[in-house]
Amino acid sequence: MKLCIIGLGKIGTALVQGILNSGLYDSDHLIGCDPKAEDTKNNEEHGGIKTTSNNVKGVKEADAVLLAVKPQVIDNVLEEISEAVKGKLVISIAAGISNSHLKEKLPLDVRTIRVMPNTPVLVKSGISAIAPGRNATEEDVKLVNKIFAGVGEVVEVEENLMDAITGLSGSGPAFIYIMIEALADGGVLTGISRELALKLTAQTMLGSAKMVLETENHPGVLKDMVTSPGGTSIRGIEVLEKHGVRGILIDAVKEAALRSKELNSID
């Protein structure tokens, strides 16, 4: 079975590497398509897989197609590959693009699965939510689980949650990077070098997230473990609460989720 990946940007390339590292496919069974890709049987830049700038050519050689393209261009790609993709599995990671949207643009016998990964897949620490379309088989779902397990964790969800998930875990890394940058700025303000401040902040964020996942304690419980009466942490928390940090983060997720819904209606 061959897999064609359309879009060899950062996420598409990370998925190629994750698939190869997991052993799910070898390089002979992957085909990468991208306007900037060299037409070659052994592209060393992309793990030694075959690459082409011709999407239709790549799709015709494959049994399943993974669309790693932006939502703003996906309709052009769907129109281009429509005939070639008949009877095949189409996996889309385009933000906001529903299974129904894919079905409208593709032949009736196409099977679809929508996936929302996030950028930490680049370091094999992502989380990807998958939502099968109506025609997707159990084998299709198993295959998609295996593909994205190569670059992090995978959860299967109902599609009505996908816009919310896009707002939370899809856009969430951007919000977290801003928090890391701001905390590091605080460290610099108080006399720590930029390099050390970033390292301290990023490792603190990583360790705190690991505590949530591994202890399964509520974040409020873990927060209280750090917060002594009259201590340093509660003084800092007072400032966060005064500035409404909780509400700001909630609103950020809400607006990102709304934008995901809007993208599905882009012509």
* pLDDT tens-digit readout, 133-187: 979 999 999 999 999 999 999 999 999 999 999 999 999 999 999 999 999 999 9
Helix, strand, coil percentages in the chain from 3-state DSSP, rounded to 5? 55, 15, 30
Kind and range of the H or E run holding 50: strand 49-52
Assess whether the region 3-157 and the region 170-263 belong to the same CATH fold.
no
Look at residues 91, 204, 222, 73 and name the one whose alpha carbon lies nearest to residue 145. Answer: 91
Split at pLDDT 50, 70, 90, the class of 266 is low
**CA dist., res. 97 & res. 212, Å (int):** 31
Domain-by-domain residue ranges, the chain? Answer: 3-157, 170-263
Name the CATH superfamily, with its identifier, for domain 3-157.
NAD(P)-binding Rossmann-like Domain (3.40.50.720)
Residues 218-243: pLDDT tens digits? 999 999 999 999 999 999 999 999 99
Residue 254, helix vs strand vs coil:
helix
Return the pLDDT at 165: 97
Could you tell me the two tokens for 185? Answer: 């700025």
Whether 267 has a pLDDT exceeding 70, the answer reads no
Residue 223, helix vs strand vs coil:
helix
Return the pLDDT at 46: 87
Split at pLDDT 50, 70, 90, the class of 69 is very high
List 7's β-bridge partners, or say none: none
Domain covering 170-263: architecture: Orthogonal Bundle (1.10)
Whether 244 has a pLDDT exceeding 90, the answer reads yes
| Count of Cβ atoms closer than 10 Å to residue 264 Cβ | 16
Whether 198 has a pLDDT exceeding 60, the answer reads yes
Task: Determine the residue type at 9.
Answer: G
Return the pLDDT at 41: 86
Kind and range of the H or E run holding 66: strand 64-67
Residues 91-137: pLDDT tens digits? 999 999 999 999 999 999 999 999 999 999 999 999 999 999 979 99
**CA dist., res. 126 & res. 40, Å (int):** 30
Burial code (b: 16+ CB inside 10 Å, e: under 16) for 84-116 equals bbeebbbbbbbbbbbbebbbebbeeebbbbbbb
In this predicted structure, which of 17-21, 111-115, 205-209, 256-260 has the lowest mean pLDDT? 17-21
Residues 3-16: pLDDT tens digits? 999 999 999 999 99
Split at pLDDT 50, 70, 90, the class of 37 is confident
Could you tell me the two tokens for 90? Answer: 């189409």
What's the mean pLDDT when you consider all of the chain? 94
